A and B are shown apart, each in its own frame.
Chain A
């Protein structure tokens, strides 16, 4: 996982912050330079949220620019579409096929775009479509969507499963470790079947 730029995009409250912290911890173990850029404050209240994880020999800017992301981990379909220009042409785009309507759609002032995943697939070869909400539900907690997504991503990395699980155990509050590890493994196994 040398010189990787990973974006995590989603809706405030979906756990993008925790995800970037878990990724950051895993990245730290590679011995490379790492920067993780987070979002706090107002946009965490249900707004569009993006965090960045960058690793390499030397990382300067903590922010990923257009056409630079090796991986975009999308917790929600519309957010995948919003940030798609940031993916490399051969970038991996992992999308939770969940739909969360933003307020302009809720009140009928805007339309939620149709066939988002198909449209992205038309232009990018490495798109992985994940029913992360269903998988999290089966694991017993719909809030574990983020960790299911990490599981899917982990399967596509060269980093051993145990390193990921260690990071989850370190970053998650003790009472939530069990459910999160379960969700991680469910995501990991789901990716194996693809």
Chain B
């Protein structure tokens, strides 16, 4: 049967068809849908782990036990999971272990643009790179096979355009995979110096065999066309290259580490001009240069951002698209915003009013850094807000810390904020941490996490009690507040930043997009009562619009959350007349 599947759905299908039985992940765009779709298969145990490190450790445990195991994450998640990865490379596997890592060239939804191939090379783990949904499924199955044949974890590297594009996939039967027996083998599974030294030799031997495999595997193939131009490429760049260059010769790489040196040399010797087309780092290019092969790549095309067929046409072939219209209008940008009804809006309104320095974190609430809220001062990586607030206090002193807070989402706090809080308590910090508890992992599209009380399959489970957790690590001042109670919330923040000890405020209110969240009817501004003081504009609500001579509420955007009625001192905002109007 043929189906139209997202790259991520096709990976999930591949995991299923390969007979894998354990799948773990921490959600992160553009990788999230892999595990969301795996969770639909009853034959596979799947879970959201608290972070990528734990996710990979669970998968490694399953692999050692004899199961085929999958672990998925976004590119920056691999940094978190790097510790187990680098040593799992030494131990190798029992059941096949495949790690799906989605890079985000162009940073559609990420804080950096790192290239997973470089981490994989550091860890000495082979990398496959599919170019469309069909290959996502095929390469996934081949990755499990390689993992077992070469006794190594395998990374399947996706990029946003492959992960989030649908293509036609032929569904096949599931492989009847039998669990491999587990045998106690400390020389392989206990990595301490004496054993690890021997395993490092095994890794080097494995890399030599994998280079050989890469030269001969059908994953890497040549498409001969006009030999005046040769293009070495992989993944989505192959698709862009096909459109830009047309009928030239291609060496399409499905295995991007280790590279097929011999195949590359043979291909290079047959073509006149050789281009390497790859997004992000000159990974393939540098290997070619190292082999003394003259190629054109990054001297023409950027290391930054996403590629496209037109970018290649422009930078390599010198062809720019014609302008077909006379429209010369300035189009205002449309940056993402916190949704109407978002609980974070209350928090940011108060923090902005108090003019605090806000150490921020990763999630929807990072949008609080943008105009008009402009409340967040920093955002580096998952969990960083807490440690960074503590560092600021240690750098500038106790008095300064009365003007600082950290804000972090519930899922992000569990991911790696809790360790920062332990550090603050242990090392006698006095910072204030605001946990934005919106009952879900928001930005990635509503995944459960240990603080929601439900598993990936929606089954009820033990719920981490954030209040007790913070108390247990030694925070004596922990309180729960509703960020839409603006007065109460402001009072709480003022008290906690003054306290001479670490404190936590759990700002509790569910995400406005959760289906159980019901607001009243939409609001309207009474123009007779409105003095145009613009207090409501400070909320940065997408439904409240400044028309110059008057301020109005857009009824198609307003969800009736009532927050604006709390900042209006003139009682000018009220429920609109009819039910829906």
Contacts and interface: CB of A to CB of B under 8 A. Distances in A.
Contacts of A45: 336-339, 364, 367, 443
B226 to A, nearest CB: 17
Interface residues of B, number: 62
A35 B321 contact: no
Interface in B97-133: 108-109, 132
Given A38-B6, A103-B542, A123 B327 contact: yes
B370 A103 contact: yes
B324 A111 contact: no
A43 B109 contact: yes
B239 interface: yes
Nearest to B364: A45
B228 to A, nearest CB: 20
Interface string B318-333: 0001111111011111
Contacts, number: 190
B167 interface: yes
Given A67-B321, A100-B557, A109 B371 contact: yes
A38 B542 CA distance: 24
A43 B334 CA distance: 9
Which DSSP category, helix, strand, loop or mixed, fits chain A's interface?
mixed
A124 B332 contact: no
B395 to A, nearest CB: 31
Contacts of B437: none
Interface stretch (B28-36, B189-197, B483-491): B28-36
Given A24-B4, A38-B166, A48-B334, A124 B310 contact: no
Given A35-B165, A35-B166, A65-B321, A41 B243 contact: no
Nearest to A124: B325
Contacts of A110: 330, 332-333
Interface in A78-113: 78-79, 81-82, 84-85, 87-89, 98, 100-113
Interface stretch (B54-62, B85-93, B544-552): B544-552
B33 A63 contact: no
Contacts of A183: none
Contacts of A63: 161, 240, 308-309
Nearest to A28: B4
Interface in B266-306: none
Nearest to A49: B334
A96 B165 CA distance: 25
Given A78-B332, A81-B327, A113-B330, A34 B167 contact: yes
Contact of B333 (A104, A108, A142): A104
A9 to B, nearest CB: 11
B337 A103 contact: yes
Interface size class of A (residues with CB under 8 A): 35 or more
A120 B334 contact: no
B165 A36 contact: yes
A13 B339 contact: yes
A147 B338 CA distance: 25
Given A40-B30, A103-B371, A85 B325 contact: yes
A78 to B, nearest CB: 7
Interface string A43-74: 11111100000000001111101110000000
Contacts of A102: 332-335
A61 B331 contact: no
A67 B322 contact: yes
A62 B165 contact: yes
B336 A46 contact: yes
A154 interface: no
A192 interface: no
Contacts of A43: 108-109, 336
A126 to B, nearest CB: 13
Contacts of B557: 100
B216 interface: no
A1 interface: no
A122 interface: yes
Given A63-B161, A103-B334, A107-B372, A42 B4 contact: no
Interface in B236-283: 236, 238-240, 242-243
A21 B9 CA distance: 13
Interface in A109-152: 109-113, 116, 119-120, 122-124, 133, 142
B312 to A, nearest CB: 10
Interface in B177-217: none
A116 B327 CA distance: 10
Nearest to B581: A137
A34 B133 CA distance: 11
B546 A106 contact: yes
Contact of B336 (A42, A66, A107): A42
B30 A65 contact: no
A67 B324 contact: yes
Interface string A15-43: 00000010011011000011111111111
A113 B331 CA distance: 7
B327 A119 contact: yes
B240 A89 contact: no
5 contacts: A13-B339, A36-B167, A40-B30, A103-B372, A106-B545
Among all A-B residue pairs, the 5 with the closest Cβ atoms: A41-B109, A41-B29, A47-B336, A110-B332, A102-B334
Given A35-B165, A44-B336, A110-B332, 11 more contacts: A40-B109, A42-B109, A48-B333, A48-B334, A61-B236, A62-B167, A67-B324, A89-B324, A100-B556, A103-B542, A124-B325
